Amino acid sequence: MFTLLLLPIVFDPALWRPAQTSKYLFFIVLVPIIFIILVSFVQKIPWKQLFQNPIFFLYGLYVLYVGISSLFGVDLLNSYLGNDSRIGGWFLLFLSWLFCGLLVVLFSARDWNLAHKFYIYGAVFISLYAILESLRLVPTFGLDLPRASSLIGNPVYLGGYLVLPTTLLLSQIHFSEWKKHLSKIVCLFILSGGFIAAGTRGVYVGFVAGLFFYGFIALKKRFTVKKQLFITFFIIVVLLSLFGLGRKFVPEGTYAHRFFDFSDTSSNSRLEFWKMGVRSVGTVGFFGVGHENYYRVAEQYYSGTLYGAEGTYSDKPHNIYVEILVCSGVLGLMFYLGCIACVIYRLFREYKKKENKHFLILLSGFLVYLVQNFFAFESVSTLFVFSYFLAYVISFDVASSIDRHTEKRKRYISWLLMIGCFVLYSMFISRFVIPTNNYFRLLSVAKQQTDATKQLEVMKRIEKQSFIFDRDPLAKMYHASAKTFYNKDGNTADVQEFIQSAIYQYDRLLELHPKRGEFWYQRADMGLMLAFLNKTAPDQRTKIAIEKAIEFTPTRTEPYIVKATELEMAGKIPEGIQILEDIRQKIPNSTKLLWTLSILYIKNGQEAKGAELGYQAIDMGLKVAGVQSILDLINYYAEQKDYKKVIRLYERAVNLFPKQVDLYANLAAAYAVNGQNQEAIITAKKYAELNPQAKAETEAFIQSLP
């Protein structure tokens, strides 16, 4: 059943993107939820007995508080229905709590055994696909990395999802009787392969912590406390030594090296995201900014150091606990941690009572999940894995009580409830699911078009749909296409239509999310581009968008860039330069800011200063739309006979535009002028390989080198 539900993801290229896969997973998980709800109509649900369980009560209290606190947040639509890249919101959180309670009520011990098999084999299937994906034997989704994003939509989602089913599988295996459990051991190896394919270091750290905990408790009866501490210290020394050796000898840039190096760009970015959240705690208010509204904090307290790593707009801190603290306040975090504490207490009490390693494995696995949550955020898949695990732990306590208080409903009432639910779900499918799937399909088709007119036709078909939940990717595609086709074809009617459509979509988004600085900036950028192409002053709406972008994202460079562009268009270039220089003092590593400053200085007659800043931007990794801007810098530095910079610029140009073969020939010539003959020969041979017609010319060039 699970495999059949996932088939649309496997065979529909329109869904090969993490955010889109996540949305589709939301619709997939609704199927078993609706099925469970339908089954629940057969009997009366003893909610009173359920609420007497502290785990279920605290989880429900957390869900209720998140719903109430979000009323005081900054973006109600985000909070209750989910933001533009992650569907669900509080509605999804509520469903996970409801799902948890219904599982406890409806599942007998036999049902739980069957459910575990379904759950574990589903995870094995996903892991197997991840392994095949990492070997490039099946279609790859989402992030094009040596790490598999798999059917879950993202490597982080995948790693977090696999933890608890792996825990359940381990709790069922008796390695002393390995022949009887051979099939389960094979499944365990496949799940391990899934973790390796995902390559998420948060899970890796979690497993180390979980194994330490398991070993410490399991050895408690066999050794004294002193021996336990000595063994623990010895293991820590060995692990740290292995970690140090791996960091030193495993080659940098390889897949394995990421497990030994936590000082890379990705890790540093995570740390900055956490700091942003913590810095905001004193200003977000008692109730927080509202569920799913972390973007508000990220825009207000964005760390300038992130421009050296990514510079993207972030809506998640990659730490569940920081996210809950920021979005739902201290009380929300207390309810969540209280629920977790009850789960830990219940599992540990069960282990102490029965001396059964099954419960110790469950507790250790749950600890792995909690540790990896320091490096991840909740997704559709992990949320329902969490609620499933809670339901299983709750069933230890309340199963017998639930059985005593459960009554059958009258048959006609059950049928009426089922039919009503089925009709509503069918309406939901036809009104929302099918249009959303069609929306993604058309976006994918549009993205594949290389002709502006044809792409525009497809995108206009999208706008005619009766329901569009997620306008963000549509607006951004219009935005990107306007710039792409302008660089390619100039100021055409299609380019004008792309810009107008992008502006319309951003205006619609801002009606729904009026405090989202990212959308204000993008709206301002399109408004300025339209004014530039039409050779007119920016309209009032664009000027308002610029001021709003600065108001809502004061710690980012983008709003100041559009402000400086507005001043440039008004002939106030020195004022634009001053604004950006002030921001540059705070954020020196924003390549977009450096590039804009470069253009302004050149237009202001300060060519040397402009060229230097342009060079810095390209050298730091700026991706320009066309090669000509780099060639202009090359020509400037060639005239200055600064061949080191000429070579560096050509190297970046080759990296950004590898299909422009002549760049290799020019780079080889630059190497030769600078006396780097070996590099000149290697590059010249690469040029001949890409352009066989120039083989004789290349040979002559190589022969001419001293």
Looking at residue 524, what is its pLDDT?
96
pLDDT at residue 267 above 50?
Answer: yes
Confidence bin at 112 (pLDDT 50/70/90): confident
DSSP state string for 565-581: HHHHHTT-HHHHHHHHH
Q: Report the percent of the chain where pLDDT is more than 70.
A: 88
Token pair of 281, please? 């705690």
Instruction: Name the H helices within 464-557.
Output: 472-489, 493-512, 517-534, 540-552
Q: Rounded CA gap, 611 and 694, in Å?
A: 33
Question: Which backbone phi and psi does 556 adopt, to 5 degrees?
Answer: -110, 160
Closest CA to 198 of 266, 128, 139: 128
* pLDDT mean over 532-549: 95
Residue length of the chain: 706
- From CA 520, how far away is CA 516, in angstroms rounded? 7
Rounded average pLDDT over 678-682: 89
Sequence-ordered list of residues with C-beta below 8 angstroms from that of 40, at least 6 positions apart, any chain: 102, 105, 106
586, amino acid identity: K
Token pair, residue 650, equals: 């050509």
Q: Find the mean pLDDT for residues 185-212.
A: 89
Residues 70, 290 contacting (CB under 8 angstroms): yes
Eight-state DSSP code of residue 367: H
Rg, the chain, Cα only: 29
Instruction: Provide mean pLDDT across the span 602-622.
Output: 92
Distance in angstroms (rounded) separating the CA atoms of residues 96 and 414: 23
- DSSP per residue, 138-167: S---SS-SSS--GGGTSHHHHHHHHHHHHH
Highest mean pLDDT among 147-151, 232-236, 625-629, 631-635: 631-635
Give the position of tokens 């390796």.
196
Residue 519 has pLDDT above 90, yes or no: yes
Tokens of 537: 């002053």
pLDDT beyond 90 at 114: no
By mean pLDDT, which of 147-161, 399-413, 459-473 is the weakest? 399-413
The CATH number of domain 641-706 is 3.20.10.10: no
Q: pLDDT-derived band of residue 506, with 50, 70 and 90 as boundaries?
A: very high
- CB of 527 closer than 8 Å to CB of 545: yes
- Whole-number pLDDT of residue 19: 47
Half-sphere exposure of 249 (CA within 13 A, CB side): 6
| Alpha-carbon gap, residue 474 to 482, rounded angstroms | 12
Query: What does the block give as tokens for 654?
Result: 């080759």
Identify the residue with better confidence: 489 or 404: 489
Which residue type does 215 have?
A: G
Of 574 and 86, the structure prediction assigns the larger pLDDT to: 574
d(CA 687, CA 680): 10
Measured CA distances, 585 to 128, 302, 551, 620 (Å)? 50, 15, 19, 17
Count of other CB atoms within 10 angstroms of residue 224: 9
645 has pLDDT over 80 = yes
Per-residue pLDDT band for 283 (boundaries 50, 70, 90) equals confident
Query: Over the stretch 392-439, which tens digit does the pLDDT of each residue have?
Result: 999 887 765 555 455 565 676 777 777 877 787 788 778 877 787 778
Residue 6 in contact with residue 369, Cβ under 8 Å?
Answer: no
Phi then psi for 224, rounded to 5 degrees? -75, 165
- CB 508, CB 536: distance < 8 Å: no
Dihedrals phi, psi of 451, to nearest 5 degrees: -95, 130
Which residues of the chain form CATH 1.25.40.10? Answer: 641-706
Task: Return the minimum-mean-pLDDT range out of 301-315, 370-384, 392-406, 501-515.
Answer: 392-406
Long-range contacts (CB closer than 8 Å, 24 or more residues apart) made by 249-255:
255/146, 255/147, 255/199
In this predicted structure, what is the pLDDT of residue 140? 67
- Mean of pLDDT over the chain: 84
Give the pair of three-digit tokens for residue 502: 């992008």
Give the per-residue pLDDT at 4: 45
Question: Can you give the pLDDT at residue 38?
Answer: 67
Q: Which residues pair with 407 in a beta bridge?
A: 44
pLDDT at 644 over 80: yes
| 150-185: b (≥16 Cβ within 10 Å) or e | bbbbbbbbbbbbbbbbbbbbbbbbeeeeeeebeebe
Beta bridge partners, 435, equal none
Does position 86 have pLDDT exceeding 70, yes or no? Answer: no
- The H-or-E segment that residue 130 falls in is helix 109-134
pLDDT value at residue 324:
94
Structure tokens at 131: 């392994």
DSSP letter at 408 equals E
Q: What is the pLDDT of residues 20-40, one digit of tens each?
A: 555 555 556 666 676 677 666
Q: Tell me how many degrees the CA angle 486-490-495 measures, rounded to the nearest 5.
A: 50
Range with the lowest mean pLDDT among 30-39, 349-358, 638-647, 656-665?
Answer: 30-39
**Element holding 390 (H helix, E strand):** helix 380-405
- More confident site: 267 or 547: 547
Q: Which residue spans within 535-680 are E strands per DSSP?
A: none
Number of C-alpha atoms within 13 angstroms, CB side, residue 52? 10
Q: How far is CA 362 from CA 117, 211, 228, 359, in A?
A: 16, 12, 22, 5
Over residues 328-345, mean pLDDT: 94
How high is the pLDDT of residue 246? Answer: 77
